[in-house]
């Protein structure tokens, strides 16, 4: 389809100038500056020397950075899968024309109104074996109850996943519910008459029609994965050891406490490139699915 050629709307363009300037000055210039700093020996204050890829060598030799990348990948895969599945199931549940639909919708979305810091602290208490779920179970009589994931090197990262999942599943539900409501009801009736089971109806008929909402959710969740920081700091502060440490925490530590902005900039640049590699195909797919819709 070809749009009819129009004269450009000058007023609209003028209105975009403040935002455009912000993007250019704050974001693009900021990114370029960060990339430049990553090639310097800057510690506390920015310097303008040139040390080539030295900061990147230090970064990739760092045991902690390697752990961080593995952690964020583990976190990303489990969190996105979990949030999509849970959000979809919640949306389907509400789509069954349940009574008090509004109440359920609010309930599910409620956790999203909390900050990550509050979420992290609450779940830290819940997971803490000496005062949370384990302690409650024991005081109710299950003396051998054991739920100490947060103290374990292997399981602590999943505690963070659960907390963030609890926080974000409601949002996925809301977006997918809007998508579900966009599906023609006649199709549901037709499927019912044909005697197609409900699960089959949702899986094979509804899901393929929801590309745009699924894409939106995916992008939002992926962004949440990349910038996960406050929940980790509030919940585990990266511990025990570096079991829940994430790249953003590495960057913030080096930027401030460790006064090593050269290394922090190299880490940020590496993150940016990683994000571009992962997000770009997603954005492309989404823009295509929107065009087709």
Q: Report how far residue 214's alpha carbon sits from residue 195's, in angstroms, rounded to the nearest whole number.
A: 27
Q: Least Å distance between CB 137 and another protein?
A: 14
Q: Report how far residue 246's alpha carbon sits from residue 72's, in angstroms, rounded to the nearest whole number.
A: 6
Which two three-digit tokens encode residue 51? 């040390």
- The interface region with another protein, picked from 13-21, 95-103, 108-116, 122-130 by CB under 8 A, is 122-130
Q: Kindly report the backbone phi and psi dihedral angles of residue 47, in degrees, each rounded to the nearest multiple of 5, phi listed first.
A: -115, 170
Asked if 187 contacts 208 with a C-beta cutoff of 8 angstroms, the reply is: no
Whichever of 54 and 286 has its CB closer to another protein, that residue is 54
Asked if 121 contacts 255 with a C-beta cutoff of 8 angstroms, the reply is: no
Q: Report how far residue 168's alpha carbon sits from residue 78's, in angstroms, rounded to the nearest whole number.
A: 13
Give first-to-last CA distance, the chain, whole Å.
Answer: 13
Side-chain half-sphere of 132: how many Cα atoms within 13 Å? 17
Whichever of 33 and 110 has its CB closer to another protein, that residue is 33
Instruction: Say whether 220 sits in a helix, a strand or coil.
Output: helix
- Candidate residues 45, 193, 277, 293; the one interacting with another protein per rule CB under 8 A: 45
Whichever of 255 and 272 has its CB closer to another protein, that residue is 255
- Candidate residues 72, 83, 86, 150; the one interacting with another protein per rule CB under 8 A: 150
- Candidate residues 37, 86, 90, 156; the one interacting with another protein per rule CB under 8 A: 156
Give, as ranges, the residues between 185 and 244 that touch another protein (CB under 8 A).
235-243
Whichever of 154 and 185 has its CB closer to another protein, that residue is 154
Q: Report how far residue 266's alpha carbon sits from residue 52's, in angstroms, rounded to the nearest whole number.
A: 11
Q: Least Å distance between CB 153 and another protein?
A: 6
User: What number of chain residues touch another protein (CB under 8 A)?
Assistant: 32
- The interface region with another protein, picked from 5-13, 123-131, 185-193, 199-207 by CB under 8 A, is 123-131
Whichever of 90 and 235 has its CB closer to another protein, that residue is 235
- Candidate residues 34, 78, 128, 209; the one interacting with another protein per rule CB under 8 A: 128
Site string for another protein, 5-44 (x = CB under 8 A): --------------------------------------xx
Q: Report how far residue 265's alpha carbon sits from residue 251's, in angstroms, rounded to the nearest whole number.
A: 8
53 lies in the site for another protein, by CB under 8 A: no
Segment 197-206 long-range contacts (CB within 8 Å, at least 24 positions apart): 202/92, 206/180
Residues contacting 237, CB < 8 A, separation 6+: none
The contact set with another protein (CB under 8 A) reads 43-45, 63-64, 124, 128-131, 148, 150-151, 153, 156, 235-243, 253-254, 256-260, 263
């Amino acid at each position: 389809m070809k749009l009819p050629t129009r004269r450009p709307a000058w007023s609209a363009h003028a209105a975009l100038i403040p935002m455009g300037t912000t993007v250019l000055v704050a974001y693009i210039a900021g990114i370029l500056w960060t990339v430049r700093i990553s090639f310097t020996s800057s510690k506390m204050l920015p310097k303008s020397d040139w040390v080539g890829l030295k900061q990147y060598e230090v970064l990739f030799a760092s045991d902690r950075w390697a752990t961080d990348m593995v952690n964020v990948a583990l976190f990303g895969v489990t969190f996105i899968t979990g949030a999509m599945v849970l959000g979809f199931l919640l949306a389907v549940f509400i789509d069954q024309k349940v009574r008090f639909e509004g109440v359920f919708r609010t309930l599910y979305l409620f956790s999203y109104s909390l900050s990550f810091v509050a979420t992290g602290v609450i779940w830290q208490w819940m997971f803490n074996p000496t005062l949370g779920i384990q302690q409650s179970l024991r005081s109710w009589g299950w003396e051998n109850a054991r739920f100490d994931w947060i103290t374990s090197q292997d399981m602590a990262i999943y505690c963070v996943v659960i907390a963030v999942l609890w926080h974000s599943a409601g949002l996925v539900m809301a977006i997918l519910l809007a998508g579900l409501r966009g599906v023609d009801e006649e199709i549901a009736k037709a499927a019912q008459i044909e005697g197609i089971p409900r699960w089959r109806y949702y899986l094979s008929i509804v899901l393929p029609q929801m590309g745009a909402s699924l894409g939106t959710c995916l992008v939002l969740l992926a962004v949440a994965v990349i910038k996960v920081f406050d929940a980790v700091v509030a919940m585990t502060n990266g511990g025990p050891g570096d079991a829940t440490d994430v790249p953003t925490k590495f960057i913030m530590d080096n930027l401030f406490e460790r006064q090593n902005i050269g290394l922090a900039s190299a880490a940020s640049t590496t993150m940016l490139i990683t994000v571009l590699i992962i997000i770009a195909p997603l954005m492309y797919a989404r823009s295509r699915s929107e065009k087709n819709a």
